[in-house]
Amino acid sequence: MAGAREPIHISILVSGGGSNLQAVMDGVADGRIAGARIGLVISSKEDAYALLRAERAGIPTAVVGKSGYPGDDERAERLLGLLSAARTDMIALAGYMHVLSPRVIAPYAGRIVNIHPSLIPRHCGMGYYGRRVHEAVLASGDKQSGATVHFVDEGVDTGDVIVQRAVPVLGGDTPETLAARVLETEHDIIVEAVAKVVDGLREAEGKHEK
């Protein structure tokens, strides 16, 4: 783990477009996320646009897909090896469409955050990701939705909430229009939440050094 004067090393896990990854990269670059650097981006898909965003920013990347490993344990070991080699202090799941193995969570407990495109505990848990979340919100008749950044524990979308923000559901919304409104808010709260967790880790490590 990084010492008090070293930046917090963040590893980011992605699966798709990577607009939340971009928000975190921008937040680190412009100082809204202070005292941190992004050391590694891992994608579950080799054609994820998020990988290009990372490469353009000079951030090392890796792909750990669903196939190519004999089983879940081997995939978890590969992830742990990459995270350790990048001297990871904190992990952000930014549009990562898989449930992280308990083997990966354990050594980083309290240091993993996830962004989910709804007001947890509404429309979350197994099977609720991406467009499906927005379809469920519209089907429910909810008048508002939003986004949540929370700590990752061994459940699915069950960890403590770090930042949550609502947006209205408008008459005539489609899953696409609602997703776009929620995504805009995601980009703000993921920066706020990562900054908050980084500050907490730096404070804890500062105290530890004294």
- CA distances 12 to 113, 129, 145, Å, are 10, 18, 25
Q: Under rule CB under 6 A, which residues in 2-41 are in contact with ligand GAR?
A: 16-20
Binding mask 36-75 for ligand GAR (x = CB under 6 A): --------------x-------------------------
Binding region for ligand GAR (CB under 6 A) out of 29-37, 53-61, 127-135, 192-200: 127-135
Alpha helices, DSSP H, located in the chain: 19-29, 49-56, 72-85, 102-105, 131-140, 175-209
User: Would you state the structure tokens that stand for residue 118, as one six-digit string?
Assistant: 């709804």
- CA distances 123 to 45, 74, 178, Å, are 25, 31, 14
Q: Is 116 marked active-site?
A: yes
- Contact, 95 vs 16, CB < 8 A? yes
- Contact, 87 vs 2, CB < 8 A? yes
Rounded distance between C-alpha atoms, residue 193 and residue 113, angstroms: 8
User: Would you state the structure tokens that stand for residue 200, as one six-digit string?
Assistant: 């907490």
Query: What is the smallest separation between the CB atom of 16 and ligand GAR, expressed in angstroms?
Result: 4
Query: What is the smallest separation between the CB atom of 115 and ligand GAR, expressed in angstroms?
Result: 5
* Dihedral (CA of 173, 175, 181, 186) sign: positive
Query: What is the smallest separation between the CB atom of 94 and ligand GAR, expressed in angstroms?
Result: 5
Binding mask 148-187 for ligand GAR (x = CB under 6 A): -----------------------------------x--x-
Query: What is the smallest separation between the CB atom of 97 and ligand GAR, expressed in angstroms?
Result: 6
Single out the catalytic residue among 9, 116, 123, 150. 116
Binding region for ligand GAR (CB under 6 A) out of 1-9, 32-40, 71-79, 126-134: 126-134
Query: What is the smallest separation between the CB atom of 125 and ligand GAR, expressed in angstroms?
Result: 9
Rg of the Cα atoms in the chain = 17
DSSP summary character for residue 108: G
Closer to ligand GAR by CB, 2 or 189: give it: 189
Tell me which residue of 151, 98, 97, 142 sits closest to 123, measured CA to CA. 142
Does the footprint of ligand GAR cover residue 130 (CB under 6 A)? yes
> Residue numbers of the site for ligand GAR (CB under 6 A)?
16-20, 50, 94-95, 115-117, 129-130, 133, 183, 186
